[in-house]
Amino acid sequence: MATIYEVSEAAGVSLATVSRVVNGNSNVSQKTRDKVLSAMESLGYQPNTIAQSLASKRSNSVGILVSELHGSFFGNMMSAVELELRESGKHAIITAGHADEEKEKQGIEFLLSRRCDALILHVEAVSDEYLIELDKKKIPFVIINHKIEQLSDRCFYLDNEEAGYIAAKAVIEHGHKDIAYITGPALKEDAQLRLAGHKRAFDEAGIAMKDSLLVEGDYKQEGGVEGLRTLLNQKESFTALICANDEMASGAMSEAREQGMELPSELSIIGFDDVIFSEYMYPGLTTINNPVTTMGRMAARWVLKNVYDKKISEIQNKFDPKLVVRDSLATIV
């Protein structure tokens, strides 16, 4: 690998001048610029990004923490982030937090030790206090899918309350009155918000929510299986089931069929997130769109703009959920 020094020698100029043309900086006469450029060309010179980083105190890398690398949720986000960053010559360092507080902290520490210029965090377990504390350390970071008031311009999130509202409303508008609900873990903010939206729609329609039709799930497939089983084991009957995410909806579907129910005629099911396999399910799952891709892109743009001083115009923080209509929601006649 040729160094900047060899280039300067070949071009008959100083090291500083080469550095200038490499960085497109300041003023260099066209003539010397050409000399340098052709020297670079013939030597196949490629700047050593590590040396650049050391000298400039910029690693040009941004760390990404997601709860899982696999699964159907984060791929789209990472994809958007990577694309956006690479277009600006930055790179993404990824790591997983496994939705565990300790592991998330370790992941963040790891990324920090890598001297990332910024962090894009999709945390699930870490506390707001930890993040606010992290903020004091002058390490730029953004948060995906969670809103912290003090850091709101750096949070990119779905309006989960509205999402819950839309889902419930769609079900109600299809004529359902007896509606069961499998929530997410009570501790999780998005689960609470979705439930709140759910209640708002019920209030608005003048339908009473029955506690017996409300069970807590774990956001996993198994939670849907068990949730439906629990619901079926009490006396209250229902014609529709809202699941706080698609995984649970999937589990509920299997269990429903296991119980010999016809879908969606005997039971309508609606999910949340519109993960990749939702359209592959049978019947196709009607669900609420969770625009992770766009959120990822926005997060990357925030970093580009605020950390790397790129000119970027529009950055959107709050995202609106949309109903994705497929076949799992039937109309009651």
Partner DNA sequence: CTGTTAGCGCGTTCAT
Partner DNA sequence: ATGAACGCGCTAACAG
Which amino acid makes up residue 240? A
Binding-site partner at residue 72 among DNA, a copy of itself, none, CB < 5 to 8 Å by type: a copy of itself
325 binds, among a copy of itself, DNA, none (CB under 5 to 8 A by kind): none
Q: Per CB under 8 A, does 69 bind a copy of itself?
A: yes
Q: Which residues pair with 243 in a beta bridge?
A: 182
Distance in Å, CB of 212 to a copy of itself, minimum: 28
CA–CA distance, 173 with 289 (Å, rounded to integer): 18
DSSP letter assigned to residue 152: G
Assess contact for 240 and 180: CB atoms under 8 A.
yes
Site string (49-88) toward DNA, x via CB under 7 A: --xx-xxxx-------------------------------
Within 10 Å of residue 309's Cβ, how many Cβ atoms?
Answer: 8
Q: How far is the CB of 85 from a copy of itself (least distance, A)?
A: 9
At 98 the three-state DSSP class reads coil
CB of 204 to a copy of itself, least distance (A): 33
Of residues 13-42, which lie at the interface with DNA (CB under 7 A)?
13-17, 19-20, 22-23, 25-29, 31-33
Binder of residue 138, out of a copy of itself, DNA, none (CB less than 5 to 8 A by kind) = none
CB nearer a copy of itself, residue 83 or residue 196: 83
CA distances from 32 to 3, 15, 24, 41 (A): 18, 12, 13, 14
Crossing angle of helices 189-205 and 160-173, in 10° steps, is 40
Going across the sheet that includes 179-183, the strands are 214-216, 179-183, 240-243, 268-270
86-125 residues in contact with a copy of itself (CB under 8 A) are: 86, 91-96, 110, 113-115
Number of Cβ within a 10 Å radius of residue 200? 16
Q: In the numeric block, which tokens belong to residue 320?
A: 């609106």
Nearest approach, Cβ of residue 292 and a copy of itself (Å):
10
Quote the tokens at residue 138: 């002058």
Our finding on whether 186 is near a copy of itself (CB under 8 A) is: no
Q: What is the rounded (10 degree) CA torsion for 207, 212, 214, 219?
A: -160
| Contact call for residue 272 and a copy of itself (CB under 8 A) | no
Q: Which one of a copy of itself, DNA, none is in contact with 83 (Cβ closer than 5 to 8 A by kind)?
A: a copy of itself
Residue 54 interacts with a copy of itself (CB under 8 A): yes or no:
yes
Residue 289 CB partners (closer than 8 Å, separation 6+)? 273, 274, 321, 322, 323, 324
Interaction residues for a copy of itself, span 190-249 (CB under 8 A): 221
For a copy of itself, the closer of residues 78 and 299 by Cβ is: 78
The reply to whether omega before 291 is within 30° of 0 (cis) is: no
Rg of the chain over CA atoms, in angstroms?
Answer: 26
Q: Which of DNA, a copy of itself, none does residue 281 bind to, with CB < 5 to 8 Å depending on kind? A: a copy of itself
Asked if residue 321 lies in contact with residue 158, where contact means CB atoms within 8 angstroms, the answer is yes
219 binds, among a copy of itself, DNA, none (CB under 5 to 8 A by kind): none
Applying CB under 7 A, the residues found at the interface with DNA are 1, 3-5, 12-17, 19-20, 22-23, 25-29, 31-33, 45, 47-48, 51-52, 54-57
Applying CB under 8 A, the residues found at the interface with a copy of itself are 46-51, 53-54, 59, 61, 68-72, 74-76, 78-79, 82-83, 86, 91-96, 110, 113-115, 221, 250, 253, 257, 276-277, 280-282
